[in-house]
Amino acid sequence: MERRKKRRRRLVVLFILAAVMIWIGGCAVSKPLSLSSLMSIGSKPVVNAGTSEQGPQTEAGKNNGNEIIVVGDTGSDNEKPGPGHSSNGEITPNKPDTTEKDKPDPPATEPPDKPVDGAKNKCEKCIALTFDDGPDSRYTTAILDILKEKKVKATFFVVGLQVSKFPEVLKRIDEEGHSIGNHTYNHKDLSKLSKEQILKEMTTADAEIEKAIGYTPTLFRAPYGAVNDALMEIMKEYKRESILWNIDTRDWAGTSVADMQKMIKKQAKPNGIILMHSFGGKKIQNTVDALPGIIDELEGMGYTLVTIEQLE
């Protein structure tokens, strides 16, 4: 009897010990072992840390490439990045992470941007006078005299054929600090030409310009503002900037001096590009006659008259 009792006690103690051991073992693992948890042991934990989708940085260069100022008003607000981050109420575990990661970035990128902004602000009320179709020895030179007297810089989109006749006038435009742009050789409607023909129009004018002033311009203006895909491909390939306008005096059609001054006063706006001509018939005399008043009016309104490159 005594032996049986001892054996029973031993078994009970062993059973209790075994139960305690199992319980302690279970706590150390902290959760019940399962097949899936066993399989993940040894492999690296997957953490959602690699959120490299920092959108704002890649969006920065929106205004690169060929800048086209289209005939008529384009709204001109394309510079603004547009903070329109629409918030959809859903919050996924990744979202707080990315926003937190984005936050430290702006301070790091802001300082280098600031001087550029500062420079832009300096020119926030700038406007550009542009004169097409020259040079010639009559109107272009008269316009140059006025610009010199008023200490104003402008941009001349010149035609190769005219340059071949008046290279010294182009030289004067350049020497007096104005900007020069290619306006083709023959002033044809490029939208009706093949890519090869457009290229020929551009390069033959380039050659004539280079002969006169020693370099080829990067600015380009299509006659009649007529552009097509082939032209835009050329602009891209040859790193040219296609410049149109957003204020049209229609001086070639005979707009009177008073009307020209009135409409410029009414339509003037920051970063405006005013289209006028320095060659193209007797009506261009109105341009010459209106110019001093136009300059005075714009400056009186607080505008700085600049070349195309100085805009923005």
Note the residues at the interface with Ni ion (CB under 5 A).
132-133, 223
Peptide bond into 135 cis (omega under 30): yes
Catalytic residue, chosen from 178, 183, 187, 277, is: 277
Provide CB contacts within 8 A for 257, sequence distance 6+.
286, 289, 290, 293
- 277 an active-site residue? yes
- 174 an active-site residue? no
Smallest distance, Ni ion to C-beta of residue 118, A: 36
CB nearer to Ni ion: pick between 132 and 241 = 132
CB nearer to Ni ion: pick between 132 and 251 = 132
**Dihedral sign for Cα atoms in the order 91, 97, 100, 106:** negative
Of 131, 160, 88, residue with least CA distance to 251: 131
Of all residues in this chain, which one has the CB nearest to Ni ion in the complex? 132
CB nearer to Ni ion: pick between 132 and 136 = 132
Task: Provide φ and ψ at 307, rounded to 5°.
Answer: -85, 165
CB nearer to Ni ion: pick between 126 and 133 = 133
DSSP 8-class letter at 303: P
**C-alpha triplet 40, 43, 45: angle, nearest 5°:** 85
3-class state of residue 219 by DSSP: strand
Measured CA to CA in angstroms, residue 262 lies from 125, 259, 268 at distances of: 19, 5, 10
CB nearer to Ni ion: pick between 199 and 226 = 226
CB-based burial of residue 116 (10 Å sphere; 0-12 exposed, 13-18 middle, 19+ buried)? exposed
Task: Round to the nearest angstrom and report the end-to-end CA distance of the chain.
Answer: 108
Smallest distance, Ni ion to C-beta of residue 275, A: 9
Query: Tokens 């086209």 correspond to what residue?
Result: 68
Smallest distance, Ni ion to C-beta of residue 166, A: 16
Query: Tokens 């082939």 correspond to what residue?
Result: 230
Catalytic residue, chosen from 132, 133, 248, 251, is: 132
Query: Tokens 């001087």 correspond to what residue?
Result: 115
Smallest distance, Ni ion to C-beta of residue 282, A: 17
Provide CB contacts within 8 A for 71, sequence distance 6+.
225, 244, 245, 246, 248
CB nearer to Ni ion: pick between 157 and 303 = 157
Smallest distance, Ni ion to C-beta of residue 168, A: 21
Smallest distance, Ni ion to C-beta of residue 223, A: 5
Instruction: Report the distance separating Cα 62 and Cα 114, nearest Å.
Output: 18
Active site residues: 132, 277
